[in-house]
Chains A and B, each alone.
Chain A
């Protein structure tokens, strides 16, 4: 909640303190949250969980429930911790000339949404926050919105993640149908019911679709490199700690529900391992340092994803001492998740420094920076070594565990693993070689070799101290975790294991003791030796085999497919839009009325509700007849009016007669509203009157006239029929019983008002918002027309 409040406060702070960098104020938010969360660590490590519920829509079981257990602890610590560092870094990265208040507003929104995703127990609330992350990341990626690439990248990220999110929503609804609850904890508690349901597998696949799109898994990974158009602090944040990890979180969170199913195992681990390979394979061909890191993120996410898939096999076997070794994969996944955040964050910040101080990120123009930027060089070396999985850094430990998990999985006898299990270690090994190569590229191409001062845009020099603080904190973690891995294992990872394997009795046993040296040279270590040897060899001969990438034609990449779909979609829809949006108001009314008649009259006939019983009607009074006659007369006269003012006045007569009807039928609220609204619209009409052209005698053919007349009669008949049918409609339960007790329930004697303000307040609230938006729409439409000269800013 705090980030949202802070985001709302930003504009005020921004105006008050123009001279101080806004980031200093923003920094307080994640720092406070981090400290707060950290104070819970010892209690969470003891197995405690914290639940707090705020009722939101209790009727549908949708409540804002925050649920803090080991798993959400890891993620929220990452979000706030890396968030603090990123904001600290951005203070020095972004100059005060940028529109910082927008930037930090989006960033805080994003942070709040991410915390919402990982802390909420309710699936619907999770979904709301999930889409909020999509929206706020869209704003962040398009922060430099004057650049076309930024906008395209943001749109791509938005389209892919939101369509995945909608699929996920469908999956959640299926889970709700199967289990009858939106609470994740309750679903896990009633697992048998859910698993027996026919909707179990479709729900699983849809939820996975959401997770895969968000976490940029193959083949949805294409949005991630384009999201690099964002300012570097944003990339560092989105990639190391948050956005892309949301999918991982979802998989981890739903593992107790779906894990243990064969389809889950193969989809998660298969897609993960494929992404691992594809990302690392493509990273090697990149020339832009940031794009290279983007592909490395994709591949690392694939690694974590595949580990969660492998670990879910343990759920299939049930609890036994032999299955405990498979839970190691999950443990490695969580461990690597943290490690990835540390080294990827540091590397992004390093690239940002290079970009900031040198002016380019193209490795063909970089080189020899080691002597000039020694501190940045240190970050690069430690970060890349950790990513490549070399000792003495934390990446080595988790990479070893990854290899161990892939080797172990071959021994399983389920899911036809004895036939296909071999692909896991093999693909993992090949992908690791590529990982080693691109890590070498990052370090060697940027910092070694000859410097080319004429190809750089700025004279290179070391970064300011402030910009180095954050990456240095991160690399100290990289080394620190390597030296004391079991501190992390006990306090952070063990409670998370307990929440992924809730039905396993003891999380103590699930937590392996991490050691840098196993005491003997085992398979994993041999694999690492192989990676180093072959990787070095391939890196040195890079020039010879790199052209191989050109063989793969550009036309068939997923990116090109995406571009084609979007491109053709745009041209088709604009063609269709131009066809029906022809600027004639009367056509728009025709569309509206055709749908109106088709849906309402169609339904009335379909549901057979047209049973009108005249005998039940009350008697008609004479003054009612007079009123009706006046209205019919006015309506008829409008048809033959030759001047616009007559039409306006006759319309007024109609409106006032309706108001009189309300008076006659004792509905003073409606009558009052109708009277005031009628007066104001007539006044508006008269205001706008002098801008409108004279009525032209329409020269239209008789067929069009007849069609329009038919249409009018049909609309009138539909409305009349509905009015008559409502009297006898008994398909739904009447809600009037609900309003009988208005005074006791809402404390108001005016029932219309209690309906508006209490019983149906949600409608009223949204109506107010709609009214406001409509008012703004009118305002901007009229105001923008005045400045037509610079109206086409968008098309630049």
Chain B
């Protein structure tokens, strides 16, 4: 059965960017405003799922050639890695630090190692979410 989904495809093409932008915004906003690794990851992941739902798996895979199981594994490694990393600076396990840095174009910005930890969380969420949905939908 051939489905006519021009509208869906056109709308998704634009919406996905909005979703991704929102996801990234939420991820970075997390420290001082609502958002964070978990929500950001969820939004990004649902954007990817939306792509998979609209287009077929091969097409999306051409654009994003990631193995999402590996993305999730990378996320776990990053999250635990930053936790262990603090040991090398002679600080207790899971210590996070932050500071204000003057970055050329962007001006003074607040950077924090929690961001790395949160990035690990986000990657895990994305990877796991997409893996689960893909493996369920592939099972036919």
Contact = CB atoms under 8 A, between A and B. Distances in A.
Given A691-B139, A750-B30, 6 more contacts: A746-B98, A747-B98, A748-B114, A749-B32, A749-B33, A762-B94
B32 A750 contact: yes
Contacts of B127: 772, 775
A747 B80 CA distance: 21
B83 interface: yes
B24 interface: no
Contacts of B42: 673, 676-677, 680
Contacts of A776: 69, 72, 131
A125 to B, nearest CB: 12
B59 interface: no
A521 interface: no
Interface string B78-115: 01100100010011111010100000000000101010
B124 A771 contact: yes
B76 A772 contact: yes
Q: Which 10 interchain pairs have the tightest Cβ spacing?
A: A775-B128, A749-B32, A747-B98, A668-B34, A55-B92, A757-B114, A748-B31, A676-B42, A753-B36, A782-B135
20 contacts: A55-B92, A56-B87, A56-B92, A669-B34, A676-B43, A750-B31, A750-B36, A752-B36, A757-B30, A757-B36, A757-B114, A757-B118, A768-B124, A769-B76, A771-B124, A772-B76, A775-B131, A778-B131, A778-B135, A782-B136
A753 B94 contact: no
A778 B34 CA distance: 30
Contact of A673 (B39, B76, B87, B98): B39
Contacts of B132: 684, 775, 778-779
Interface string B32-75: 11111111001101100100010000000000000001001101
A357 interface: no
A517 interface: no
A758 B124 contact: no
Given A679-B46, A750-B30, A772-B128, A756 B91 contact: no
B4 interface: no
A51 interface: no
B96 A58 contact: no
B131 A761 contact: no
Interface string A650-676: 000000000000000000110011001
Contacts of B83: 761-762, 765
Interface residues of A, number: 47
A13 to B, nearest CB: 18
Nearest to B128: A775
A756 B122 CA distance: 13
A782 B133 CA distance: 11
Nearest to A760: B94
Contacts of A16: none
A785 B139 CA distance: 9
Contacts of B53: 683
Contacts of B135: 778-779, 782-783
Given A684-B133, A757-B118, A758-B114, A782 B139 contact: yes
Interface of A: 54-58, 64, 668-669, 672-673, 676-677, 679-680, 683-684, 687-688, 691, 746-750, 752-754, 756-758, 761-762, 764-765, 768-769, 771-772, 774-776, 778-779, 782-783, 785-786
B35 to A, nearest CB: 7
Contacts of B92: 55-58
Contacts of A786: 139
A672 B121 contact: no
B80 A765 contact: yes
Contact of B136 (A55, A688, A750): A688
Contact of B72 (A684, A688, A757, A772): A772
Given A55-B93, A779-B135, A669 B36 contact: yes
Contacts of A672: 26, 34-35, 39
B114 A684 contact: no
Contacts of A673: 38-39, 42
B114 to A, nearest CB: 4
Nearest to B110: A747
A64 B90 CA distance: 11
B30 A769 contact: no
| Interface-central residue, A772, A779, A786, by most chain B CB under 10 Å | A772
A486 B34 CA distance: 70
B108 to A, nearest CB: 14
B137 interface: yes
B69 A779 contact: yes
Interface residues of B, number: 53
Nearest to A688: B136
A765 B72 CA distance: 13
A553 to B, nearest CB: 53
Nearest to A758: B96
Given A54-B90, A768-B75, A772-B124, A687 B80 contact: no
A680 to B, nearest CB: 5
Contacts of B39: 669, 672-673, 676
A675 B52 CA distance: 20
A786 B136 CA distance: 12
A56 B92 CA distance: 5
Contacts of A761: 83, 94, 96, 117
A771 B125 contact: yes
A771 B128 contact: yes
A669 B33 CA distance: 9
Contacts of A680: 42, 45-46, 49, 129
A687 B133 contact: yes
B51 to A, nearest CB: 13
Contacts of B36: 669, 750, 752-753, 756-757
Contacts of A775: 69, 72, 127-129, 131-132
A101 to B, nearest CB: 17
A764 B31 contact: no
Given A669-B34, A746-B96, A757 B129 contact: no
Nearest to A59: B92
B49 A683 contact: yes
Contacts of A756: 36-38
Contacts of B76: 768-769, 772
Contacts of A748: 31-32, 98, 112, 114
B105 to A, nearest CB: 23
A493 B16 CA distance: 70
A684 B72 CA distance: 19
Contacts of A758: 96, 114
A772 B133 contact: no
Contacts of B87: 54-56, 64
| Interface-central residue, A677, A683, A748, A768, by most chain B CB under 10 Å | A768
Contact of A779 (B30, B33, B125, B131): B131
A768 B35 contact: no
Contacts of A57: 92-93
A746 B118 CA distance: 14
A753 B53 CA distance: 31
B93 A750 contact: no
| Interface-central residue, B37, B93, B136, by most chain A CB under 10 Å | B93
A512 B14 CA distance: 85
Contacts of A779: 69, 131-132, 135
A355 B128 CA distance: 47
A688 B112 CA distance: 40
A669 to B, nearest CB: 5
Contacts of B30: 750, 753, 757
B121 A764 contact: yes
Contacts of A55: 87, 90-93
Nearest to A775: B128
A673 to B, nearest CB: 5
A779 B133 CA distance: 9
Nearest to A771: B128
Contact of A772 (B35, B75, B94): B75
A775 B125 CA distance: 9
A684 B132 CA distance: 9
